[in-house]
Structure 1
Amino acid sequence: MTTRRICTALGWCLALALLAGCARIGVKPVPMDTRTREFDRTALNSSLPSERSLVFVRQRDLETAWKADAESMLLGLDREARAQKDREAFFVLAELCYYEGKKEHADKARAASYYLSSALYAYAYLFDDALSPELDIYHPYSRQAMEFYNRSLANYALYARETGLAYADGRELPWLRGKVRLTGRSSQLAFAPDELESYHLAYEFEVVGLTPQQVRLGLGVPMAVVRQPPPEASRTAADRFTPKVRQTYAATLFLRFSPHPEAKTSGALVYDAALEVHDPMRGTSLTVEGRRVSMEYDLTTPLALMMQQSPEPNGLEGMMNPAAWEKLSGLYMLQPYDPGKIPVVFVHGLMSSPTTWANVFNGLMGDPELRERYQFWFFRYPTGNPVLYSAMTLRRSLDEVRHTVDPDGTNPNFARMVVVGHSMGGLLAKTLAEEGGDALWAKVSKTPLDALAVSARDKALVREAFYFGPRPYVSRIIFVAVPHRGSDLALGLVGKIGRALITLPATVLRPVASVGAALLRAMGPGARDKDMPGITGIDSLSPKNAMLQGLAEAPIVTPYHSILGDEKQGGRTGGTDGVVPYASSHLDGAQSELVVHSGHSAHEHPLAIREMRRILLLHLQQGAASPAAP
């Protein structure tokens, strides 16, 4: 065989070998996580579009054109998608526009145009019934399309905030194939758009210190909108109960697209877009093109942002120096009064403030029925004052809000009020459902109040503190770690130190001193100051305190529940939360009692929060209790 024939034969063998190699088909093992990551990859979570979109482009031999001139390729794909009414193509357009928006981050206006285009294409993929195949809402691609809509709209909102682009009716915004014309604005929030000071996207923050995060996925961009409090001159009567600080509300942004009549001119397409701001406290779904869609919201981020921007005064100061808190005391609503919702009033305990309820409020907000049926209020007071004095201010505050928002007493929702009290706050709450009067005064003095030689003003104040009756609008109370029969800590070193450091304000000290002096005179020449009981908030918690004993003996006429802490789970009769023993916090007449493995901050225990949720849902089911006589 000649050399030439040998070379020819070898060439054929090599060609056959190469052909055989090309024809080999098989598999190779890879880690399962690696393979699933390939399926999960999108332009949202990586530097590449999804494999699905890349395959779509390659099947149409558009990859080279896309890399050479992305905008021209996308315009051509848009025309093809509309001609063929191809839903799949609209998804690819949404993802590739989002991808191009990320690439164009240096040119903010161009990136914004791509993001608006992505939102529009994703909206069409989800809601245009003229496209085929029919939308499968259970397919993961539907959720991905919602994510492209949300994230694209979020990026456009950031662009608008950074550039000062405000809403204006008729304003035209550029997108890939034309203009988006703003044609309407609506808001479910309880204040006018011109009161909006700023807005933030929930996506911009990570929450610290609040759990769990009350977030639900869906359609729309969750936001925290900040309202500047109205000037004093324009505040309404109900505004007295909203804090004079920047208020932060949860909201969801939604942009509703629709083709503009006669929208096509010279190849350009015009869409109308209505800007909507939804309140997740009012509802959790959107109706779009006849479909009911879950709305995305985040309730925790706005709450955490508000607490960070407007920190609460220190609760220790409220105990040691009650005068510093006098102007801060009262009832506070996080949102304007809603006559269609039942009030739930939280009352904090010793050395504390309303922020102690943050995790409780956050946890209860996770239930949509509670959000839609209840409004949550908070009572702040200086805990160094005597309990009966603080309880009097609570009754005054609730009577005032009743007189302001329901003067005729005809709103059945107001009359179904629920009060939740932790520790000392439970003692204040109890006076809303008990009878004071002569029996309580007799615990302090055998001399009738009217017989004491004190000024009419001081006598009136003491009478208001001791002579009270159940409030007819309070229909249920939840006691959490409440020292109904006192705490031994008030007798020990902690009580002595605290008592020595507390400085009572003149508004409390003057009438108490006046009445105390009159009582000493009535007791005879042998009476001494040491014969008088202490008057600070800590003194009010002593098991030997006659006032506390009187409150413990009085019947509670309103349905109530108990939640108790036990730090060692040592059994109910011998248990304690480290501050209040079970024997002090237990009440025989409670409709329910739950003991959680916790210290004194039992109200923050997740099982305690679940129990409050259960009780509030039960309250809705059972209807209003029979109101007590005033």
Structure 2
Amino acid sequence: MQHQGVRQVAFAFSLRWSIVIVAVFALGGCAIVSEFKPSVTVRAMAPDEYVALRRGDVLGTGKLSALTVQALRVAEIDERACAKSTSLACIAAIAAVKDMDEETRTSALAELWLQHAVSISISAPYTESSSTSAWIETARYAYAYLFFTRRAPGERAFEERQTQVRDWYNYAVQKTVAQLFGVRQGKPDAKAVKAKGVLRLGDWTLRVDLNARLPNGAAMPRELLPASALRFQGLRDIYRRDGLGAELVAVTDAQSLTNQNGLPTGDDFSTKSNAWNEMPTPNVTVVLRFDVRSMEELLASHELVVAVYDPLVQDYLSLHGQRVPLAGNFTAGYGLWLARSEFNRQSLLGLLGRDRGIDQPRLYLMQPFDPQRRIIVMLHGLASSPEAWVNLANELLADEELRCAFQVWQVYYPTNMPLPANHAAIRQVLLAALHHFDPEDKTAASHGLVLVGHSMGGVLARLMVSTSDQQLLKWAESDPRIDLNRLGKSRAKIDPLLQFQPFRGVERVIFIATPHRGTVVAGQGFGRWVAGLVRLPLTLLEALAGAIPARAYTMGTTQETLLERIPNSIDQLDEKDPFVKAAAELPISGRVLYHSIIARQNTDGSLADSDDGLVPYRSAHLEEAASERIIVSGHSVQETAASIAEITRILREDIARHQLTTADLPPAERRGTCLAY
């Protein structure tokens, strides 16, 4: 009975609490239950979640960044509505909030304007001036955050928020300029009127400030292409520098520059060959600059400056008392030029003597002429073009020290021409270009030239630094196809082919897979068959004006037959060819340091008996070379990473040596014009 009483009491107690709990649920619903759960829970965050949380924004994920959402919450603004809305309501709401930190406010407004601009661009990408205005507003508030808030940019150097805002600014500048120049398609907005360097768009007045000299005398680019929108195949790497500004390619009209003043009498081998181009697609960086003194002036202003800079020349800006890195792309312009050039097709047509093939040497400057940077002259090989140097030139532009010390000139020449004719014409092109840019021979660019030649280009580079007194004259006299005694007054036109001195200003040469003593391949089998396909241009006869072969005219020989009898470039790479033998004996200037990069296909056998598939070691080796690097590779060794590394090593050595010899000059004259130095 006692146990039964205890059970009855327990039952009554349980019933009483059950009734209480039911009553609580009836009165409060499930809200009370939540009190029994933890208010904060935790779980491990995946790396991709962390990156999205810290760095995700309208550009990367299409959603507002975490800090902007946080600003909206603090301001008690519906973040969900702002995330979906394309109206200006959220922008006006957060702009009206009082007592918000200026960094928080301006950065949030920059992203909200960015969201608005993206939305407008999708709905009306090329016709609405309001779209461009929205991009400018994005740039304005990003600019406010960067330069007119409490802390300087340097104080926020490690903060991801500043990187986000900088990227929004750069993208807004890119889109603004793209729409103003009608880059992608269609025409610029009709309301944007160009007059005396001023563009007017709605309430905005934009003044153009061109701080970069455009190539070939262009006053304005024909179009501006965003570098970030260009994708290349065939370039190993894309090189750029982080900083402020939109990275663009300025496309100008490619017009040849010719020597208007001519050269001293007797130097002219072929006036048609005196043509050169500055690469028509330089990289530029554009900054939207607000010339104001305070946050209040900035937010009230409707004037800005579209400033265009050359990233090869300028690597930082001074803005509002701050030293700011200037963004720069060093690959896109070069890649675009090569992609549009059709060099590969043209070089093959030129070798075979077909229409649209090159018949005269041309010189291409990889940047507008810089009087303070010394010159690297690149000479490609047989059946090739400037494309042979694509990765080497790109690597040189990527290296800050090298691009500040050097500018690259590339020679493009018809590889079917006889070596003496090509050599004389190339000399003329280089001499004409230097005379044009530096008529008094006083700039740093005209001194300390470096020649880099691959294969046949190396043979031509050797002729450039050699002395020929009687050696080649004796060769010409012994050649049965040439009758020097019949030339008369025309003899002066062949003299540059036979007698010459080392080209002035050259101090160093890099020979790459160069057949100084010819090659067996050129004289046998496949080499002879290819040589038989080569056709020389008829312009060769005009250039030589009867110099080759004079006696054949007496027999009524046609021009085409004469050209067939003239030895072409492949003939003159044969190790048995009399010209190759004579050229190999020419003395190289004692003022020139020269280096050899030699390839061998494999490591089997002795080095002396090795070759790269075309050029044997015994032909490429020079006893007095300052250095010799052997690389396991085929003949196109100039494309390898090992070869590029060796070339950059030699160039750094050259910079150090040149600085020692010019130590008494001001720094600006000793080094390149990069403003960081």
Q: TM-score interval w.r.t. the shorter chain?
A: 0.7 to 0.9
Alpha-carbon offset, residue 131 of structure 1:
6.0
Letter in 1 for 2:94: L
State yes or no: 1:553 paired with 2:565.
Answer: no
Task: Indicate the SS of the match to 2:222.
Answer: strand
Alpha-carbon offset, residue 606 of structure 1:
2.2
Q: What is the count of residue pairs matched by the alignment?
A: 606
Listed as ranges, the gaps of 5+ residues in structure 2 are 1-11, 183-187, 264-272, 555-563, 662-677
Query: Structure 1 pair 386/34, CA: closer, same or farther in 2 (3 Å)?
Result: same
**Corresponding residue for 1:215?**
240
**Corresponding residue for 1:188?**
212
Return 362-371 or 125-134, whichever deviates more: 125-134
**Corresponding residue for 1:562?**
596
**Corresponding residue for 2:641?**
606
Matching residue within 504, 512, 518 for 2:548: 512
| Contact kept in structure 1, 2:347 and 2:357, CA below 8 Å | no
Distance 1:438 1:411 in 2: 33
Distance 1:287 1:409 in 2: 34
Q: Which whole-Å deviations, capped at 9, do the CAs of 1:316-359 have from their partners, x for residues lacking one?
A: 22222189656542333344433222222111111112222222
Q: Which whole-Å deviations, capped at 9, do the CAs of 1:392-432 have from their partners, x for residues lacking one?
A: 21222223334333344333430221111110011111112
Letter in 1 for 2:284: A
Distance 1:5 1:333 in 2: 93
Task: Indicate the SS of the match to 2:486.
Answer: coil
**Corresponding residue for 1:529?**
none
| Contact kept in structure 2, 1:112 and 1:159, CA below 8 Å | yes
State yes or no: 1:199 paired with 2:216.
Answer: no
Q: Which whole-Å deviations, capped at 9, do the CAs of 1:264-314 have from their partners, x for residues lacking one?
A: 79xx82243111000012122222222222222222222222223332252
Alpha-carbon offset, residue 362 of structure 1:
1.6
State yes or no: 1:72 paired with 2:89.
Answer: yes
Alpha-carbon offset, residue 484 of structure 1:
0.8
Matching residue within 126, 139, 156 for 1:119: 139
**Corresponding residue for 1:249?**
282
Task: Indicate the SS of the match to 1:247.
Answer: coil
Return 456-465 or 363-372, whichever deviates more: 456-465
Query: Structure 1 pair 474/4, CA: closer, same or farther in 2 (3 Å)?
Result: same
Query: Structure 1 pair 414/516, CA: closer, same or farther in 2 (3 Å)?
Result: farther
Distance 1:214 1:276 in 2: 22
Distance 2:484 2:85 in 1: 97
Q: Which whole-Å deviations, capped at 9, do the CAs of 1:73-100 have from their partners, x for residues lacking one?
A: 322322447x655212211111122122
Distance 2:63 2:158 in 1: 25
Task: Indicate the SS of the match to 2:88.
Answer: helix
Alpha-carbon offset, residue 234 of structure 1:
12
Distance 1:324 1:199 in 2: 29
Distance 1:190 1:543 in 2: 46
State yes or no: 1:340 paired with 2:372.
Answer: yes
Matching residue within 92, 102, 109 for 1:93: 109
Alignment of 1:425-574 (within 5 A): 425-442=457-474, 452-457=484-489, 459-506=491-538, 508=540, 510-514=546-550, 535-557=567-589, 558-570=592-604, 572-574=607-609
Alpha-carbon offset, residue 57 of structure 1:
1.2
**Corresponding residue for 1:528?**
none
Query: Structure 1 pair 120/614, CA: closer, same or farther in 2 (3 Å)?
Result: same
**Corresponding residue for 2:337?**
306
**Corresponding residue for 1:275?**
306
Query: Structure 1 pair 399/362, CA: closer, same or farther in 2 (3 Å)?
Result: same
Distance 2:461 2:354 in 1: 19
Query: Structure 1 pair 43/360, CA: closer, same or farther in 2 (3 Å)?
Result: same
Return 572-581 or 328-337, whichever deviates more: 328-337
Matching residue within 46, 50, 59 for 2:65: 50
Query: Structure 1 pair 506/49, CA: closer, same or farther in 2 (3 Å)?
Result: closer
Q: Which whole-Å deviations, capped at 9, do the CAs of 1:406-461 have from their partners, x for residues lacking one?
A: 34433343022111111001111111211112234445656999995322255444
Distance 1:473 1:90 in 2: 55
Distance 2:552 2:467 in 1: 23
Alpha-carbon offset, residue 384 of structure 1:
1.7
Query: Structure 1 pair 360/6, CA: closer, same or farther in 2 (3 Å)?
Result: closer
Task: Indicate the SS of the match to 1:587.
Answer: coil
Q: TM-score, normalised by structure 2?
A: 0.80
Task: Indicate the SS of the match to 2:244.
Answer: coil
Q: Which whole-Å deviations, capped at 9, do the CAs of 1:496-518 have from their partners, x for residues lacking one?
A: 21222222345556533237999
Distance 2:474 2:111 in 1: 77
Task: Indicate the SS of the match to 1:346.
Answer: strand
Query: Structure 1 pair 604/218, CA: closer, same or farther in 2 (3 Å)?
Result: same
Query: Structure 1 pair 332/516, CA: closer, same or farther in 2 (3 Å)?
Result: farther
Query: Structure 1 pair 583/230, CA: closer, same or farther in 2 (3 Å)?
Result: closer
State yes or no: 1:9 paired with 2:21.
Answer: yes
Listed as ranges, the gaps of 5+ residues in structure 1 are 519-531
Q: Which whole-Å deviations, capped at 9, do the CAs of 1:200-249 have from their partners, x for residues lacking one?
A: 111222122112112222110011111124699998989964349x8211
| Contact kept in structure 2, 1:449 and 1:459, CA below 8 Å | no
Letter in 1 for 2:139: A
Query: Structure 1 pair 103/4, CA: closer, same or farther in 2 (3 Å)?
Result: farther
Letter in 1 for 2:225: H
| Contact kept in structure 1, 2:352 and 2:416, CA below 8 Å | yes
Distance 2:198 2:339 in 1: 37
Letter in 2 for 1:362: N
